[in-house]
Amino acid sequence: MICVAIRAQEEEGPWQGSYFPVIQLDSVNVVASKQLTIDDLKKIITKDSSLIKSFWDMRNYDFASNNHIEAYDKKGRLAGTEKRNMEHFFIDSLLYHKTVSRDVQGKLYEKDGEAIYSALTLFNNVMKDDTFWINQVERSKAAHQEMLDEMSEKKLKRYEKKRAKQKEKFMGFPINRDSSDSEESRFKDLPFLDNKLAIFEPEMEKHYFFKMREGFSKYGDESYIFLAIPKKPKRDATVIKRLEVCIKKEDLSIIGYSLDALYNSILWDCDLKLDTNLKFVKEHYVPIDLLLDCEFDVILMPQERFVWKANAHDFKMNKDGLKGLSN
């Protein structure tokens, strides 16, 4: 579920007008007066791009993270924990990782270092150290600079002009919704799940209570809090069992997202909890903390549970994160 590609459209200049702030959401205008309605917040969530863009904006930074991992066996017993401190940085738009320290407790790995649990194997593949590729990139950059040094002034001007056009073409935020005015959910008609994630579609809305209140984000931003819960949570008509979205009052961008989902089928069962919160760092809102708690039971595989808690910190502006997007 967390690998689903979510398409959205960034709108420039969120505040339009001088007296009432107006948010342009594709074909929908929402006037942010004293109080928005539940329907207003549903439209904001459906059309929002700020949550996705916050992950994209992390390309502007090098940063560090503290990671706490827990693995549970098929009987629900804690098999072991791992604490991993890491550094992350972008080179030519690609993210690289470096493990600074690790502390493993319990039985998570075989003697040869292979992870015992499949979720931990997947995590290690995604977050593995990239020393080899970093060295490759550094060698490529050195070779590129050598090529530039050998160019004549005329060739160098032509080359720089061509690169400038490429940069202009690819520097834009590329995650776009369809250009049509359709209100259809981005989650509609997913494999295996049908429309069960599309909770704002008429066929799914009838299964939910929607609530809203005023409050604060985890990091103190004055916000609207939107909540969706099933009317009959024990029945399998719904996959999303709880959705809480924190929407900043100032510009109606999403700065907190919490999801509980439960899916059962003949081939696989999954119980998922996902939580992330955004904080303004230097020039952008970026994800600061993440909780992923996933218990799954796939046919012909042992049942297991994987918990990952991460906190990002020490953000530093970089020069290489948004380069090379044409590649």
- Inter-residue contact 31 to 17 (CB < 8 Å): no
- Secondary structure class of 327 (helix, strand, coil): coil
pLDDT at 166: 65
- E strands, the chain, are 22-25, 28-31, 61-72, 78-91, 94-106, 208-216, 222-230, 240-248, 254-264, 268-281, 284-298, 304-317
| pLDDT one-digit tens code per residue, 306-315 | 999 999 999 9
The alpha carbon dihedral of 68, 72, 76, 79 has a sign of negative
Inform me whether the pLDDT recorded for 162 exceeds 50.
Answer: yes
**How confident is the model over 49-74, as a mean pLDDT?**
89
- Inter-residue contact 253 to 247 (CB < 8 Å): yes
Residue 8, beta-bridge partner list: none
- φ, ψ for residue 131 (rounded to 5)? -55, -45
**Could you tell me which residue, 108 or 1, shows the higher pLDDT?**
108
Please give the order of strands across the beta sheet that includes 240-248: 94-106, 78-91, 61-72, 304-317, 284-298, 268-281, 254-264, 240-248, 222-230, 208-216
**Could you tell me which residue, 208 or 299, shows the higher pLDDT?**
208
**Could you tell me which residue, 26 or 139, shows the higher pLDDT?**
139
Average the pLDDT over each of 16-20, 154-158, 288-292 and give the range with the smallest value: 16-20
Residue 280 to residues 154, 218, 219, 253, 283, Cα–Cα distance (Å): 43, 12, 9, 12, 7
**How confident is the model over 24-47, as a mean pLDDT?**
67
**How confident is the model over 149-153, as a mean pLDDT?**
86
